[in-house]
Structure 1
Amino acid sequence: MASNKPSIPKGTRDFSPAEMAKRNHIFDIIKSVFRTYGYQPIETPAMENLSTLLGKYGDEGDKLLFKILNSGDFTKGVQPTDVSAENANALSTKICEKGLRYDLTVPFARFVVQYQNDITFPFKRYQIQPVWRADRPQKGRYREFYQCDVDVIGSNSLLNEVELVLIIDEVFHKLGVSTTIKINNRKILSGMAEVVGETERLIDITVAIDKIDKIGIEAVNSELAEKGVSQAAIEQLQPIIQLQGTNAEKLEILSQSLATSEIGLKGIEEMRTIFSTLETVSGLTTTVELDLSLARGLNYYTGAIFEVKANDMEMGSICGGGRYDDLTGIFGLKNVSGVGVSFGADRIYDVMHHLSLFPESLLASSQVMFANFGDSEAAFCLPIIQQLRSAGISAELYPDAAKMKKQFDYANRKNIQYVAIVGEAEMQKGEVSIKNMTTGNQQIVKVSEIQNYF
């Protein structure tokens, strides 16, 4: 009886060498840009204490946390009355002390508070690690995926927001992805809730309007009504969240609509500062627009919020983030403001793959392969191969003295451009015959000249 093939959980993926070459291309470019702006790398554990994670992402986020059962008898202390759908969160805290991280921002806040005496503020860090969400898998949405976060914490300056826009622009320019950066401000959203008389329902409003691109304005309005937002307030919100025009025109109209809201006007002023500062920067290749439907459902944002869309492919956000004034306060460190964005490496990969934006050269495992004719020829080739490797030229020796067709097929499948052929005649003359696998041309090169040849 045939055994079933092994498999992996839905929403997770294996990556082949070719896929890893492309993923590393994305990571390398992102890291290089982060470093040029003075950001330093950190890493945090895959699992955090559940108390660190719960309550930081809103009710919807809490439901998507992967929780880890306690070791041993995890049911110890659990009462029959604890086991009910209404009591799910309370039960999970009794049988689970740890959870897989949902994002990199909350662990970063925990890191800052834990090591506050050892780090220099403003603290500029980047972090590239996987995160986990118990979401329903679908196109562009996975249960395990990588985030590439860049944050600065310990500074209120809006120059940090401007710098993040420049980082986003440079990353996607180098990757060859045409994008639009959408920006809003949670203070403006708070002002909207205030002027329509629904301050208590700010979270309900932001969670709903954040879905406008996915489900449309009618479904958003229905959700707002279901959450208890009055019909009058819903009608007042329409012209605001569907505002059209240039960034300056939108802000001018908003300043009139939110004239009675102090927090709303503060958000407008912040956005004016960000846009006016960006106008002084030359070479910006990305469109930056004020989008009032952008809410980003996470509770901890307090100022500017960002979302990046690919222009040439239908895909969810490929980068997003914002300003969070209160996050470290949850862990006991008050009045430390931070701002950051997260690049969604998996979605960026899907966009680049769909648009054929990866360089073909990424697929080559080695620049040159030395054919194997036997033990003596292999022994002759090894010092030459080591010399090339020392010079930073990727080279390998086919491990077996197989037929040449088999060795050439191997080189072709691995996209190796050159095959070096060394038989008895070449050994006696101190030469190497190099075949270009793309053109079929063959050239004789002295061993002493081979490094210069490549």
Structure 2
Amino acid sequence: MAAKPSIPKGTRDFSPVEMAKRNYIFDTIRNVYHLYGFQQIETPAMENLSTLMGKYGEEGDKLLFKIQNSGDYFSKLTDEELLSRDAAKLAGKFCEKGLRYDLTVPFARYVVMHRNEITFPFKRYQIQPVWRADRPQRGRYREFYQCDADVVGSDSLFNEIEFIEIIDTVFTKLGIRVCTKLNNRKILSGIAEVIGEADKIVDITVAIDKLDKIGLENVNKELTEKGVTQEAIDKLQPIIQLSGTNLEKLETLKQVLVESEVGVKGIQECEFILNALADLDLVNEVELDLTLARGLDYYTGAIIEVKALDVEMGSITGGGRYDNLTGVFGLKDVSGVGISFGADRIYDVLNQLELYPQETLLRTQLIFVNFGDKEAAYCIKLLTSIRKAGIRSEIYPDEAKMKKQMAYANNNDIPFVAMVGENEMSEGKITLKNMLTGDQNTVTLDELIDLVKK
């Protein structure tokens, strides 16, 4: 007996109904991106490892899916290398490519490769899958879609303001209540500086970014393990636990970071963004959150993260400014800022809250019963007019028992069934059954179109 097929952990199949729901999310995000002047591009699923490695920090590098070279890659390895069992070193010998971890680094590579074709500032969006060798759990997958938008070639903070507007617009359209959290890596650098640990900024940000997940005690333990002094950890506590309004937090930070030039710059940027947003009548809250670090090495300014308020779920959107990302590919002084909607998590949130509008499912609205070749040929002509009227319709492909055809309509939630036999053909009429009410009437083609549309 053949083994039962399966799929890798952390991946999923999607049924027609599930795909209709996912496309509702993609279309909503895509339409909002278009409203703000973004253009779509795509990049390959796999990139050279030289493009990907070193861009996500040490932890991110471990989560890259590496692709083995084709051919006899063992022939280039020495017996000593093979017997060493050093997985990282061996992978470096016979893996030159990897699946993309996100869409931002491939986009930076795209900008550098196509810089002579691009007009700056360049506003692009991508809706494509990414892969991470993570431990699968609720809301966390190994294969998932990101819906990214980025602006490169502009230093203006109005880009950050518009991205927060985009976030607010998308989630308002989807009906999800969210909180958009804002921070700035310059503020985090300033904090590291004033507590005397400027050289450990990455270790500090990676640790405090986990505060919601592992708690303050474990964050402090991780900081100790990374070599941060107890004195510095003690100074850090009141800063990362700041409470109050955004204005109150900013005023406290101005006092704490007064001696840090970079920290003051970060405060000024956040203040500018928050003041501008206050005049835009956003639907959802924007909160200054100093624990927000997003442990990625390439953010240099604003950091953005979005949490759903009505379900327990990790971040469903994130982003920030990355002034030096294209520099690693040879194109310096090109500032960038962007966001990424986590479509798979948004899908799970919408499912839990049952927020999908019925019309998004795009099911068949009308099906013709197949009574035989003659009747089917007649119905196919009718279907041409019905489809031109914008009605999603089909005919059962085989001549089968009525019970089987009606069961097909029921199982696929098709609300109307049309029947055309010899009598209807001779009279130029159609018998139409409403599967929801059970009502059945003989109507003309125009009457059928009006009834189904209603």
TM-score bin, normalised by smaller chain: over 0.9
CA distance in 1, matches of 2:116, 2:94: 34
The CA deviation string for residues 116-141 of structure 1, in whole angstroms up to 9 with x for no partner, is 01011111111011101011111111
What does residue 339 of structure 1 align with?
Answer: 337
CA distance in 2, matches of 1:277, 1:81: 62
Between stretches 440-449 and 51-60, larger displacement belongs to 440-449
Deviation at 1:93, TM superposition (A): 2.2
Deviation at 1:448, TM superposition (A): 4.3
Letter in 2 for 1:426: E
Deviation at 1:403, TM superposition (A): 2.0
In structure 2, relative to structure 1, the CA distance for the partners of 1:196 and 1:82 (3 Å cut) is farther
CA distance in 1, matches of 2:82, 2:135: 24
The secondary structure found in structure 1 opposite 2:181 is: strand
In structure 2, relative to structure 1, the CA distance for the partners of 1:405 and 1:362 (3 Å cut) is farther
What does residue 12 of structure 1 align with?
Answer: 11
Number of residue pairs the alignment of both structures matches = 452
CA distance in 1, matches of 2:380, 2:271: 63
Question: Is the CA contact (8 Å cut-off) linking 1:110 and 1:328 kept in structure 2?
Answer: yes
Identity %: 64
Q: Quick one: which of 284, 287, 298 aligns to 2:285?
A: 287
Question: Is the CA contact (8 Å cut-off) linking 1:364 and 1:416 kept in structure 2?
Answer: no
CA distance in 2, matches of 1:253, 1:119: 43
The secondary structure found in structure 2 opposite 1:402 is: coil
Letter in 2 for 1:348: I
Q: Quick one: which of 361, 371, 387 aligns to 2:385?
A: 387
Q: Quick one: which of 390, 397, 400 aligns to 1:399?
A: 397
Deviation at 1:422, TM superposition (A): 1.2
Deviation at 1:85, TM superposition (A): 8.1
Deviation at 1:86, TM superposition (A): 9.4
What does residue 443 of structure 1 align with?
Answer: 441
CA distance in 2, matches of 1:15, 1:349: 12
Letter in 2 for 1:446: T
User: What does 1:416-431 correspond to in 2, within 5 Å?
Assistant: 416-431=414-429
What does residue 408 of structure 2 align with?
Answer: 410
CA distance in 2, matches of 1:87, 1:114: 34
What does residue 49 of structure 2 align with?
Answer: 50
Deviation at 1:16, TM superposition (A): 1.0
In structure 2, relative to structure 1, the CA distance for the partners of 1:443 and 1:85 (3 Å cut) is farther
CA distance in 2, matches of 1:127, 1:85: 41
Question: Is the CA contact (8 Å cut-off) linking 1:363 and 1:414 kept in structure 2?
Answer: no
Deviation at 1:87, TM superposition (A): 5.2
RMSD: 1.4
Deviation at 1:108, TM superposition (A): 0.2
User: What does 1:6-405 correspond to in 2, within 5 Å?
Assistant: 6-82=5-81, 88-282=87-281, 284-405=282-403
Name stretches of at least 5 consecutive residues in structure 2 with no aligned partner.
none
The secondary structure found in structure 1 opposite 2:70 is: coil
Deviation at 1:364, TM superposition (A): 5.0
With the length of structure 1 as denominator, give the TM-score of the two structures. 0.97
The secondary structure found in structure 2 opposite 1:75 is: helix
Letter in 2 for 1:129: Q
Letter in 2 for 1:437: M
With the length of structure 2 as denominator, give the TM-score of the two structures. 0.97
CA distance in 2, matches of 1:224, 1:263: 22
CA distance in 2, matches of 1:438, 1:340: 46
The CA deviation string for residues 419-441 of structure 1, in whole angstroms up to 9 with x for no partner, is 11112111111111211111112
The secondary structure found in structure 1 opposite 2:180 is: strand
The secondary structure found in structure 2 opposite 1:182 is: strand
Name stretches of at least 5 consecutive residues in structure 1 with no aligned partner.
none
The secondary structure found in structure 1 opposite 2:290 is: coil
CA distance in 2, matches of 1:257, 1:87: 46
CA distance in 1, matches of 2:409, 2:362: 9
In structure 2, relative to structure 1, the CA distance for the partners of 1:43 and 1:420 (3 Å cut) is same
CA distance in 1, matches of 2:407, 2:257: 69
Letter in 2 for 1:351: V
Deviation at 1:78, TM superposition (A): 2.3
Deviation at 1:392, TM superposition (A): 2.2
Deviation at 1:76, TM superposition (A): 3.2
